[in-house]
């Protein structure tokens, strides 16, 4: 008994020592900025000019300004549209469709399609922007392709900027959902599918009655994960449309950047970051909970 508690005490001491570097790095570089941003969001600090030095506490003024700031609300609405169509419907739906249809296909065909979809996930953000800048251009390959069907060219990035960034983000992110659903579909017990078949259920009935209920945990986890990765998307939108024209494709991260780094209003930018962080915290708590209930 005595020996065991000695062992345990030694383990605790060693364990703490081994954990120190990781915890220090995370606290210094990751937790402290998050805490400091609460502090900044309560000040009128600026990046340049007089208020860079002579700043003062303004209480909740930045948050009050946000409530009245029509441009902020537009960016919030754009973020909701972006999340709903590019992640929750687009990546989820297309990723599932690909994984579902690829079942029982020949290996080389699965590899071919899978590789094409995965290129979107592997390609760096900036390159995705460049590719889609060319793709959506007036002379671009999208219009060239549509011309084959007799559809006249469009200035996609100007007249449909939101649709453009949604399509680009679907291209970029679908592979992740595809991989998640592939492994989930592989884990559906084949006896369940066989017995549904013997009961005379068609593929649609089997899908709705057997497959989807079995993989609902994955659907939930995947939805939360892709929402988390989509809510923070900055570089792709910034390089592709810059949030424009006007505010038409300005999401919250883009607006935060404009306020903090283009208008130098660090205080206000931090307040926007806090709001974004709150959404992130809510989503991440949801994810942690979903993970816990599955484990």
Show contacts with another protein in window 27-66 (CB under 8 A): 28-30, 32-34, 36-37, 40, 45, 47
Nearest CA to 247 out of 125, 119, 75 is that of 75
**Exactly one of 85, 135, 156, 181 binds another protein (CB under 8 A); which one?**
135
Q: Which residues ranging from 2 to 21 are in contact with another protein (CB under 8 A)?
A: 8, 11-12, 14-16, 18-19, 21
In angstroms, rounded to a whole number, what is the distance separating the alpha carbons of residues 287 and 63? 27
Number of residues that bind another protein (CB under 8 A): 100
In angstroms, rounded to a whole number, what is the distance separating the alpha carbons of residues 232 and 280? 9
Residue span 217-256 as binding mask against another protein, x where in contact by CB under 8 A, dash where not: ----xx-xx--xx-xxxxx---x-------------x--x
Q: Which residues ranging from 72 to 131 are in contact with another protein (CB under 8 A)?
A: 94, 97-98, 101-102, 105, 109, 112-113, 116-127, 129-131
Nearest CA to 239 out of 125, 163, 141 is that of 125
Residue with tokens 């060219």: 153
**Exactly one of 60, 64, 134, 146 binds another protein (CB under 8 A); which one?**
134
158 binds another protein (CB under 8 A): no
Instruction: Indicate the burial class of 290 (C-beta count within 10 angstroms; 0-12, 13-18, 19 or more).
Output: middle
In angstroms, rounded to a whole number, what is the distance separating the alpha carbons of residues 180 and 155? 35
Piece of the chain touching another protein by CB under 8 A; list 62-70, 136-144, 155-163, 206-214: 136-144
**Exactly one of 64, 261, 262, 294 binds another protein (CB under 8 A); which one?**
261
In angstroms, rounded to a whole number, what is the distance separating the alpha carbons of residues 169 and 283? 19
**Exactly one of 6, 25, 151, 246 binds another protein (CB under 8 A); which one?**
25
Tell me how many degrees the CA angle 26-27-32 measures, rounded to the nearest 5: 120
């Amino acid at each position: 008994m005595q020996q065991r508690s000695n062992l345990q005490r030694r383990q605790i001491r060693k364990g703490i020592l081994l954990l120190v570097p990781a915890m220090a790095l995370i606290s210094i570089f990751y937790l402290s900025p998050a805490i400091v941003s609460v502090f900044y969001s309560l000040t009128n600090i600026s990046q340049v000019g007089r208020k860079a030095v002579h700043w003062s506490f303004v209480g909740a003024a930045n948050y009050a300004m946000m409530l009245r700031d029509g441009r902020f609300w537009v960016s919030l609405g754009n973020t909701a549209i972006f999340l709903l169509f590019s992640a929750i419907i687009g990546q989820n739906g297309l990723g599932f469709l690909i994984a579902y249809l690829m079942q029982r296909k020949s290996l080389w065909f699965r590899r071919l399609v899978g590789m094409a979809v995965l290129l979107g996930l592997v390609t760096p953000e900036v390159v995705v922007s460049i590719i889609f800048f060319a793709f959506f251009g007036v002379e671009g390959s999208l219009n060239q392709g549509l011309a084959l069907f007799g559809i006249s060219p469009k200035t996609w990035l100007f007249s449909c900027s939101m649709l453009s960034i949604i399509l680009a983000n679907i291209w970029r992110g679908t592979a992740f959902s595809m991989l998640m659903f592939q492994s989930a579909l592989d884990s559906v017990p084949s006896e369940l599918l066989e017995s549904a078949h013997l009961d005379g259920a068609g593929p649609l009935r089997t899908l709705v009655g057997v497959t989807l209920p079995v993989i609902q945990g994955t659907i939930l986890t995947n939805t939360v994960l892709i929402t988390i990765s989509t809510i923070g998307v900055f570089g792709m939108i910034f390089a592709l449309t810059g949030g424009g024209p006007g505010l038409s494709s300005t999401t919250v991260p883009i607006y935060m950047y404009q306020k903090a780094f283009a208008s130098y209003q660090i205080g206000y930018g931090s307040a926007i970051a806090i709001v974004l962080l709150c959404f992130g915290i809510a989503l991440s708590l949801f994810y942690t909970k979903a993970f816990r209930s599955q484990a």
